């Protein structure tokens, strides 16, 4: 293939990809769309009463960024049902500190997490119980 024809073919392919990205907002047709869950999550058959309270608090305060069932949300926030958040790496105190002080972005590129107002220590403990119950069903112990 001559050089001019090869450059033309590459330019046409690039133009096609650029058109796709501008029309769909996605660079990969198989990639999740903005706002989609980032990971598949299995749910526990039963939650303790404390974890049930945590699920309600999570849905009210955390799900907007961390997604339904803590599955993450493309373009918004990371999944908490992820190996990074296993108890041996991010213990329960890390969740308390994140709520109280916010978090500087370090594992993901979603930007910094602001402190969350209006949650009591008991609320955060219930949220942790919910997240840990869902993590456990998904093999994160």
pLDDT digits (tens, 9 = 90+) for 93-116: 999 999 999 999 999 999 999 999
Q: What does pTM read for this prediction?
A: 0.76
Q: Domains plus CATH for the chain?
A: 1-31 (no CATH), 49-137 (1.10.760.10)
Euclidean distance between CA atoms 131 and 118, whole angstroms: 19
63/71 Cα distance (integer angstroms): 9
Nearest to 127 by CA among 54, 53, 71: 54
Q: What pairs with residue 73 in β-bridges? A: 77
Return the DSSP state at 41: -
Is residue 39's pLDDT more than 80?
A: yes
Please name every residue paired with 103 in a beta bridge, in sequence order, or none if there are none.
Answer: 113
Cα 79 to Cα 70: distance, rounded to the nearest angstrom: 5
């Amino acid at each position: 293939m001559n050089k001019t024809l090869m450059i033309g073919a590459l330019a046409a392919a690039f133009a096609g990809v650029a058109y796709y990205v501008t029309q769909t907002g996605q660079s990969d047709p198989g990639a999740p769309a903005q706002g989609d869950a980032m990971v598949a999550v299995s749910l526990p058959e039963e939650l303790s009463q404390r974890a049930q309270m945590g699920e309600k608090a999570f849905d009210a305060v955390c799900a907007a960024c961390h997604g339904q069932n803590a599955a993450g949300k493309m373009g918004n926030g990371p999944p908490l049902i992820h190996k990074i958040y296993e108890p041996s790496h991010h213990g329960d105190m890390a969740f308390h500190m994140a709520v109280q002080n916010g978090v500087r972005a370090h594992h993901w590129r979603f930007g910094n997490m602001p402190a969350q107002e209006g949650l009591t220590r008991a609320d955060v403990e219930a949220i942790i119980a919910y997240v840990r119950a869902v993590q456990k069903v998904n093999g994160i112990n």
